[in-house]
Structure 1
Amino acid sequence: MMTDLWINLPVKNLAQSKEFFTQLGFTFNQQQGNTDHSACLLIGQKNVVVMLFDEPTFKGFTNSNIASADKGNEVLLSLGVESKEEVDELAKKAIAAGGSSNHKPKEMQGWMYGCVFTDLDGHKWNVLYLDKSKMPN
């Protein structure tokens, strides 16, 4: 039986990536997964693990090249927040910390409000507030 899910992302500069996510308000597990080559990013109330690995370490695990994030998207990492204001705030923090976005926060389909930003390594993050009272059945 499967017990956990970890998301693993390659990063060019581990120290810069840790600083980026710290500026966004994320925390790291300081006891596990925290080495010179990796960092254990914790997300949400359930502490979903996103492991950040320097590129040589990531390549060693996958035994393959790393895809170029600036040429397309392989995955969109979505973060649920509790309000539209949190979407706006996280988008602003991402830009201030060195990330980028060409997707301004907006309402979608009448019940979602969100924004996509790109981290320092080109990974796409989708910040969403879901108004469950307006969700279609």
Structure 2
Amino acid sequence: MSKIIFVNLPVSDLNASMAFYEALGFENNPQFTDDTAACMVWSEAIFVMLLTHDKWKTFTNRPISPITTSEVMLCLSCESREIVDELNDTAEENGGTADINPKQDHGFMYNRNLADLDGHVWEMMWMDPAAMTN
């Protein structure tokens, strides 16, 4: 089996979160989806598990962070700068927050950060390694 990642996120409204992630281009895998959790697929190696708060609490006793805090920023690579912009626009159009942090343009790398409905921060990034200088 190849190495893959499952990012587990607590969400306050499973159906709304599923719709948000579908709008960003994630696809639902019904095999791992029920009334308490949804598996949202970004690529062959990246899966996001959206978990209701009750389901989340079966995995840990640690409290769920308030929406105003950040514990981690998850970065996803995109095929172009335009897609980075489109994903930020789409996030805002679907109840998320675009540009939760200032956008960065380093020429060879461009990124913008968005937050989902529960404040989880995603960095959408495009990079051209051929343009990097040493």
Per the normalisation by structure 2, the TM-score is: 0.89
Partner of 2:56: 58
**RMSD, aligned CA:** 1.8
Question: What percent of counterpart residues are identical?
Answer: 37
Give the aligned length: 132
Q: Choose which of 81, 86, 106 in structure 1 pairs with 2:83.
A: 86
Counterpart secondary structure, 1:114: strand
Unpaired segments of 5 or more residues in structure 2?
A: none
Q: Choose which of 84, 92, 97 in structure 2 pairs with 1:95.
A: 92
Unpaired segments of 5 or more residues in structure 1?
A: none
Partner of 1:20: 20
Q: 1:94, 1:101 → 2: CA distance? A: 6
Q: 1:24, 1:3 → 2: CA distance? A: 24
Is 1:119 aligned with 2:123?
no
Shift of 1:14: 0.2
Shift of 1:106: 4.1
Q: 1:3, 1:112 → 2: CA distance? A: 26
Q: 1:78, 1:136 → 2: CA distance? A: 22
Q: How does 1:25-64 map to 2 (within 5 A)?
A: 25-31=25-31, 33-44=32-43, 46-64=44-62
Q: 1:78, 1:123 → 2: CA distance? A: 11
Structure 1 residue ranges, 4+ long, deviating more than 2 angstroms after superposition:
2-5, 101-106
Q: 1:55, 1:63 → 2: CA distance? A: 11
Shift of 1:111: 1.6
